[in-house]
A and B are shown apart, each in its own frame.
Chain A
Amino acid sequence: MSFFAITRATLTKDIRLEWRSKDAINAMLFFSLLVVVIFSFAFDPTAEESRRIAGGLVWVAFLFAAIVALNQTWARELRNQVLDAYRVSPAPATPLFIAKAVGNFMFVAVLEALMTPLFVAFYKLRALGPAWQLLPIAVLGTWALVVNGTFFAAMSLRTRAREIMLPLLLFPLSIPALLGMVNATTAVLTGESSPTFWIALLVAYDVVFTTACLLMFDAVLEAE
């Protein structure tokens, strides 16, 4: 009953279920496509301007896709009250959280992987700064949204208006992370400033909230 075995089993189960009924991922991919297209209609900047605002647009679009994905985190566990089957077993709560958070991260990463080339095409983006830095920024930023998102998705299970509660709980707390992601991306795209402060902020944010989530997830899961 090792910690890692349960995490791996839960994660592989989720991936297998996701792969088997691909309807969720397809719907989400189409949703992300819509978000990008609508953003591109709403904002039609010149090449120079787009570099300045693209950071904000891309991350708000990613936030949209992430929220819709995060709202589905526990959908499968709720359908037949399978969450009770997990809670009744002697398995600790943390592996479940890690498996769900990593699963969500992969899910959202796939969405972002689809949206990014579309953004580059629609906005004719070309990074003036070191483009490779965009990868760590994306990873740190996405994890910041996903770790808290998975945690608050579990917390909002215990409330009435579940779908609206998740963003209400997640967004205020994510403001520093959002500032970090957007400004780091803009710094790299425009090449005018260095993103190091913002990357450090994202690292701090991820460390603080990953620890907090791991410590308090059990209490939230048990809060019947």
Chain B
Amino acid sequence: MNANHYLYAAYIATWAIHGTYLYILARKAARVRKDIERLKRSG
């Protein structure tokens, strides 16, 4: 594990963390959109 590996690991980790959070948000947004559709239909 020479120094560069640590560097890339840190950068990749940063985007992995942000990516995971954005993925969670996307899934939550999809669920909300589905609820809105359901409410519109039966509202």
Are any A and B Cβ atoms less than 8 Å apart in their complex?
no
Which of A's residues lie within 8 Å of B, judged by CB?
Answer: none
